[in-house]
Structure 1
Amino acid sequence: MKKWLVLLLLVVGATKVQAQEVYIPLGDSLAAGQTPYRQIDTGYTDLIALKLSQELQFYSKELTFPGYTVANVLQRIEQPDAQSLLSKATLITISAGANDLLQIVQHRPEAGTLTYSQLAADFSLNQVRQKVDVLLQKLKDVAPNAEIYVMGYYFPYSNVHETQKVGTAQQLDLLNDILQQQAEAHGAYFIAVEQNFNQYLPNYADVHPSMEGYLVMANAFLAQYSGKLLNKAMLPEPNPIGFEQLLQMNESNKDLVEDLRMSPY
C-alpha cells in the first residue's frame, strides 16, 4: 500500500510548526488520480497534499477507487478501516456522483456523439441527491472534526459535436447544482471546476484529465481553502501504476473490477 498510503510526520524545530492536518479524500477515479490511459498517477488529491505538506500529519487516498458511485462511497465508509481513518480526519474532499449519471450516457468517440435516456437521467440524479444527503450526514458522525469539500465536475467529452453537447451538459449542470445544494445544506463547501476542460483531455475516448488538468482541480480547491496555489513547475514527474497493481494494493475493491468497464470515472 506504499503508493496508496502516505504518512507525513513533520518536525520543524526552528519555527515550532506542528503538523496537524489529516487529509482523507473519498470518491471515484478523479480522487484516485486516474490518467487518460487507464493508469493511476498523481491526481488532484495528491497535489492538494503536496501543497499542504507542511501542515499535513497524515494523508491517504485509500478510500478512493475508480468506478465508485455515491453508493460505493457509502459502503466503503462503513468498513472498519475506513471508520478508523475518518475518525481522525480534519480535511475531506469528495468526488462522487458522476458515475451515477454518466454510466447511462452512451459515448461514441469516433462518431462524436452522445445519447442518453432522459428518464434514466432524472432517476440517476434523484438517487445522487438522496445518497449524497445520506453520505454527508454520515460523515458528520464518523468524521466529526473534518472540514468537508465536495468537488464539482467538468464536461468530460472533448470531441463531441456542438449539437450533441447540450443535453448532456445540462444534466452535468444539474448534477453540480445537486452537489452544491447538498454540500451547503450540510455545512460543507462546494468546489466548482472549470467547465472548459478540453485542453486537459488528451485522449478523446477517455474522460480523465492530464496532470495539468488535475492541477486546475487542485487549484480550484486551494483557491477557496487557503488562497495559496500550485504552479506547473511544482508538478512531479509521472509515475503511473496499472490497475493490476492497484487491485493488489486495495483488497477492498476487487469485486468492483467488472464494474469499471461501465463507469466513466
Structure 2
Amino acid sequence: MNKDKNKLLFLVIFTALTLLFSTTVTATEQEESLTVVSLGDSITFGWNLEQPQTPPVQSENAFPFLIGNGNTEVLNVSYPGWTSTQLLEAIKTVKAKQMLQQAETVTLSIGANDLLQAIELSKIIENQQPVDPEALQQKVTAATAQVYNNITEIITLIKEETDAPILLYSLYNPFGINDPIYGSIHTLGEMITNSVNSKVYSTIAAQQGVHYLDAYSAFNGKQQDYIIPGDIHPTISGQQALAQLATNLLNELIPITINPILSTVEETTEPVSISLEEIEHTIEIKWLTGEKTIADFVNEGNLVENNSFTVSENGVYTIYVKTALGESVYTFEISTITPKAEEPVEEEEPPVDVEQPEEEEPPSDTTDEDEAPAERPEKETQDEAPKVEKPKQTMVKSGHALPDTATSMYNILLTGLCFIGIGGGVLFNQRLRKSKVKQ
C-alpha cells in the first residue's frame, strides 16, 4: 500500500517539476545578458561607492555591472589594493580559469596600485610635493616595467582560456587641477599617467591585439564629477563613464543587425510573415505600424516571439530590437499584399407573368336567346420562375494578425494529468486484487 502511494506521489511531483521547468526555460529565453569577467583592483571592485562591508563585496555600481545598460552577468576577479602581480597570481587559480571560460568579454583594469605604491602617495599628499624627483622617477620607471611584464603575461593567460574580446583600460589622472586637496600634485599625475599609458597600455594593446580603452581622456578635466572628494576612486558617474567606453566598443564589435526576411516578395492575397535572423544577447523585439523611433517603443509595440510576426496589410513597418548592449530600429515597407477578389453576384430577375392565348369557341347552333353564354375560365398564369439564391459574399478581413503566442505548457499539463490518471488506475487495480485475495 505504501509503495502505491509513493508511486502516485512521485507522479504528482514529477508533473509539478515539469511545469516549473518549462516556465523557467521560457523566462530565461526572453532575456539574454552579457557575461563579463572583470579583472582588476579597487576601481573594478567599486570601492567606496557604498558603505564599507566586511568582507568587501563588489558594488553593483562598479563599471562592469553598468556595461550595456546594466544587462550583464559579472564574474569578479578583482579586489581592493591588488597590484598587477597579485592579479597575475589570482587568475592562475582554477576558479578564475573557469570564470574566463564563460566570458563573452573580459575587462582588465590594473596597475594603478603599482604606481601609487612606488611613488609613496601618502607621503606626497602629506608634503604636497614629491620627496625626491630623481628618486621618484627611478621608482616610476621600475614600476612601469613591472606593470608591462605582468599585464603581458595576464593577457597571455586570458587567451589560453577564452577568445572573448579583452578590453584594456588605461590609467586616469585622479588629481584634478582645481582639486582643493590634490590640486598641487595634478602635474605629477599628468606626467605619470601620460608616460605609463604610452609605454604600457597602448603599446600592449597594439602588440597583443586587445582593445585599448582611453580612461585618461574620459576623466581629463572632469575629476570634480568623476572622482570621490578626498579620494582617488571613481564616483558612480565616473564608473558610468568607464562602462560607456566598453559599451561603445562592444557595439562596434557586436552591432545590432536587423535583417527582416519576408515569406514572399511576390504578389499575394495572403498575410506576409516577417522573420528575423538570430541577434546576440536579445532582450526584447517589438514592431509597430509606420516609421517609428526608439522613443516610440518605450510604452508601445507588439511583442515578437520566436523571431517572427505576420502582417495582413500593405504599409510601412518598424522593428525595434533591444539587446544587452543597446537598442536599434529598422523601418521597411510591404506593398505586395492584394485584397482577395469578391465573387460576382448574379442579380435575381423578377418573375414574368405569361398570358395564355384565349381559345375560340366553336360555332354553336344555339342562339344567344336559347342558351346562356358559358362562362370562360379565368386566365391561367405560368408558375413563377425558380429563384436564384445569392451566393454568400466573402468578406476580406483586415488588420494586424495576432502574434503567435502558443506554448507547449498545456500539452505538458495534459501529459502530467495523464500520468496522474495512470497512477490512480494502477493504485485502484492493486487494491481490487488484494480485496479479492482476502475473500
Give the TM-score, by structure 2 length: 0.44
> Which residue of structure 1 lines up, in the alignment, with residue 315 of structure 2?
none
Query: Aligned in 2, Cα 1:164/1:128: closer, same or farther, shift over 3 Å?
Result: same
> Which residue of structure 2 lines up, in the alignment, with residue 231 of structure 1?
none
Q: Which residue of 156, 174, 185 maps to 2:174?
A: 156
How far is 1:60 from its partner?
Answer: 1.7
Q: Which residue of 86, 95, 110 maps to 1:72?
A: 86
> Which residue of structure 1 lines up, in the alignment, with residue 45 of structure 2?
32
Query: Aligned in 2, Cα 1:20/1:170: closer, same or farther, shift over 3 Å?
Result: same
**1:99-129 CA-partner distances (Å, limit 9, x unpaired):** 1111122245466445561111100001111
The one-letter code of the counterpart of 2:75 is S
> Which residue of structure 2 lines up, in the alignment, with residue 263 of structure 1?
none
Correspondence 1:212 to 2:237: yes
Q: Which residue of 110, 124, 127 maps to 2:143?
A: 124
1:1-265 correspondence to structure 2 within 5 Å: 19=32, 21-35=34-48, 39=52, 41=59, 42-48=61-67, 51=69, 53=71, 56=72, 58-61=73-76, 63-105=77-119, 106-107=121-122, 108-109=124-125, 112-115=128-131, 117-143=136-162, 145-158=163-176, 159=179, 164-177=185-198, 178-193=200-215, 194=218, 195-199=220-224, 200-204=226-230, 206-226=231-251
Q: Which runs of 5+ in 2 are unaligned?
A: 1-23, 53-57, 256-439
CA distance in 2, matches of 1:112, 1:69: 24
Question: Percent identity between the aligned chains?
Answer: 20
Q: Contact 1:94/1:149 (CA < 8 Å) preserved in 2?
A: yes
Higher-RCO chain (CA-CA 8 Å, sequence separation at least 6): 1
The one-letter code of the counterpart of 2:150 is K
CA distance in 2, matches of 1:73, 1:191: 19
How far is 1:157 from its partner?
Answer: 2.2
The one-letter code of the counterpart of 1:167 is L
Q: Contact 1:114/1:165 (CA < 8 Å) preserved in 2?
A: no
How far is 1:168 from its partner?
Answer: 3.2
How far is 1:74 from its partner?
Answer: 1.0
How far is 1:184 from its partner?
Answer: 2.1
CA RMSD of aligned residues (A): 2.8
Name the structure with the higher helix share: 1
Q: Contact 1:22/1:88 (CA < 8 Å) preserved in 2?
A: yes
Q: Contact 1:154/1:196 (CA < 8 Å) preserved in 2?
A: no
> Which residue of structure 2 lines up, in the alignment, with residue 240 of structure 1?
none
How far is 1:75 from its partner?
Answer: 0.5
CA distance in 2, matches of 1:38, 1:169: 30
**Alignment partner of 1:196: what SS?**
coil
Query: Aligned in 2, Cα 1:20/1:43: closer, same or farther, shift over 3 Å?
Result: closer
CA distance in 1, matches of 2:49, 2:137: 28
The one-letter code of the counterpart of 1:132 is I
Q: Which runs of 5+ in 1 are unaligned?
A: 1-8, 229-265
